[in-house]
Amino acid sequence: MLETVRWKRMNGTDLLPGKLRIIDQTKLPKELVFLELDEIGEIVAAIKRLSVRGAPAIGCAAALGLAATAQHIETDSAERFIAEVETLAEKLAASRPTAVNLFWALNRSLSHLIRCDISDVSELKRELLREALAILEEDIGMCRAIGEHGENLIAENAGILTHCNAGALATGDFGTALSPMYAAHEQGRVFTVYSDETRPLLQGSRLTAWELNRAGIDVVTICDNMAAQVMKEGKIDLVMVGSDRIAANGDAANKIGTYGLAVLAKHHGIPFYVAAPTSTIDASLAHGGLIPIEIRDPAEVGAAEGVRVYNPAFDVTPNGLISGIITENGLHRPPYHFH
């Protein structure tokens, strides 16, 4: 399995010193390049430019990145160390606004650091890293559990439509939406995955199709605007996507274009599933209208010179269009009431 986010030890078996190691997803599928990072500016930049992307992977990278940058803080004061870590966390939190896992992982790391009640700064640095590694290990476990709970939705010879990338490249392990597919494939089930291009940055054709093909799973790439026709032709039995933030009522934010797929699936009588760990659920938001939507650089969208561009990175699928939400705790059916 691809190791999208990991900790690279720089001195044998010692936890520290070390670096955050990520796959640079901007280079895929032409090159498989790993980045080893330990400076706040380069980690923030990597998240912003989507070298690491996908809500769970962003959370894991932020926690490990916080530990990587905090190891360079020079002070003997625990109070001063924690204050500087908080400043680093604020910079990481400002990198992207929609993926709730980013803020969840940083808040968990900071809370753990404060609860430790340790005065030795070198030990605090290790505790920060241990918590980040725990977040990564839990994400790996959650990915596997999502696969186990969702694989029975995939019948033999099924056609599955997915959007963007919610696989190994978006998490610490098997992924979220792709995890049931990997689990079904491990059991010998045969099926076809239709991977939307996912414009404008083509995460579906560049990333999802690449990793599924690499794993030996039958995958077909289609343009985003072909989905309705492919559904009409009877090639799609279910839609399975990930999410970057889920509100308490089950409204789910995912890569732009997901909402349209849910509307099309409803029209054609095709079940539409969202797969995400519980860390993606933001129970503080009553509904999806409260989810902040990232607006990205207009340069990502091809347009005539002088023409204004509107480039939202996400949309929100209303809960009424979602047949089920798969988490590590099982398959949740509507009505959704997350706390």
Q: Which residues are catalytic?
A: 244
Q: Which amino acid is present at 280? A: T
R_g of the chain, CA atoms, integer Å: 20
Q: How far is CA 286 from CA 84, 276, 291, 294, 334, in A?
A: 33, 18, 9, 19, 15
Q: Which amino acid is present at 221? A: T
Report d(CA 312, CA 256) in Å as an integer.
7
